[in-house]
Amino acid sequence: MKYVIIANGNLNYTEKIIGIIKNADFIIGADGGARHLKALGIIPDIMVGDFDSIQEQDRAFFENRHVQFMRFPEKKDHTDTELCVRWAVKNGATMITLLGVTGTRLDHTMANIFLLKMLDDLKISARIIDANNEIYIVTDKLTIKGYPGDIVSIIPASETVQGITLKGFEYPLDNARLEMGTSRGISNVLENSTASIQVGSGILIVTKSWD
């Protein structure tokens, strides 16, 4: 089951983003993410959050269309995005795409990136897409698809990452080791439309980026 979660951060309404949302099996709006859904004319399957950031006209728009609202108190242990992720997991998600989860609040952006680790632990395929990046967490292996020349970076998110093997890149690696704090993995380049990343142990943040 392909789930898409739309939050209140930055989101460009590109043809690619619209296609990802419309091709999802289930669409979850996270609180103020209602503004993006309304702008796109897309009706979510459910809205989740404490609804402290949703605009009243957006709330009314979806309530009038009988969208289910799952409300949580403002004083809670998890962000609205994490509540959406946890709901998706409980309801059979096998792939989750997070949209609108990056922006000016670095704390929220970082927390949302590390939600990918929770999903990786649960063996659920997950990614973040924003205007300039696709973001993944890798602890085992990942196939990257794109175009020759696409920029892909790997960033250690654990003290050490061992057994890193990169194939299909301009700068390949074979059973390499990277330590947290190094920039060695920044700005690699795809040689073909498909490349692979394998990790023996540790955690990598992987980004495919474009300007």
The domain spanning residue 118 has which CATH number? 3.40.50.10240
Q: Please identify, among 72, 99, 131, the residue that sits at the C-terminal boundary of a domain.
A: 131
**pLDDT for res 77:** 83
- Residues 13, 117: one domain? yes
Asked if residue 13 has pLDDT above 80, the reply is: yes
Confidence of residue 1 (pLDDT cuts 50, 70, 90): very high
Structural domain harbouring 151: 138-209
Q: Please identify, among 131, 158, 184, the residue that sits at the C-terminal boundary of a domain.
A: 131
What average pLDDT score do residues 132-151 get? Answer: 96
pLDDT in tens, 24-77: 999 999 999 999 999 999 999 999 999 988 999 999 999 999 999 999 988 888
- Residues 11, 113: one domain? yes
- Residues 113, 16: one domain? yes
Q: What is the CATH number of the domain that holds 172?
A: 2.60.120.320
What average pLDDT score do residues 181-200 get? Answer: 96
**pLDDT for res 154:** 98
The overall average pLDDT reported for the chain is: 95
- Residues 113, 197: one domain? no
Domain count, the chain: 2
Longest dimension (CA), the chain: 56
Contact, 195 vs 134, CB < 8 A?
no
**pLDDT for res 112:** 97
* Main-chain phi, psi angles of 121, to 5 degrees: -60, -30
- Residues 154, 65: one domain? no
Q: Please identify, among 116, 131, 146, the residue that sits at the C-terminal boundary of a domain.
A: 131
- Residues 23, 115: one domain? yes
d(C-alpha 29, C-alpha 49), whole Å:
9
53 CB-near residues (< 8 Å, 6+ apart):
8, 31, 32
d(C-alpha 114, C-alpha 42), whole Å:
27
- Residues 93, 153: one domain? no
- Residues 73, 143: one domain? no
- Residues 152, 57: one domain? no
- Residues 59, 120: one domain? yes
- Residues 157, 79: one domain? no
- Residues 182, 116: one domain? no
